[in-house]
Amino acid sequence: MIGKLVRITRASIGVPKGTLGLVIRKDEASTWKDEDGDNLPTWFVYKVLLCLPSVHRERRYLERDLEVVEV
């Protein structure tokens, strides 16, 4: 997903729903273990460079909060 244009599907403080951005990095969240010591599923966090009119900034989002935009 790195290098893809995405739309933010969840509003947050300072970033309205529908904002466009460019995925610039993919990080793996720390692995959690359950009571038996088995690894739980890994989550990925994407760093997105937002396309906002006044400020260019980076924010981190989960994959479920992003929608790839076909150009």
Contact 26, 2 (CB under 8 A): yes
Q: Domain range spanning residue 36?
A: 5-68
pLDDT at position 69 is 97
Q: Is the pLDDT of residue 37 over 90?
A: no
For the whole model, what pTM was predicted?
Answer: 0.80
> Rounded to the nearest 5°, which phi and psi values hold at 31?
-80, 130
pLDDT at position 35 is 77
H or E stretch covering 71? none
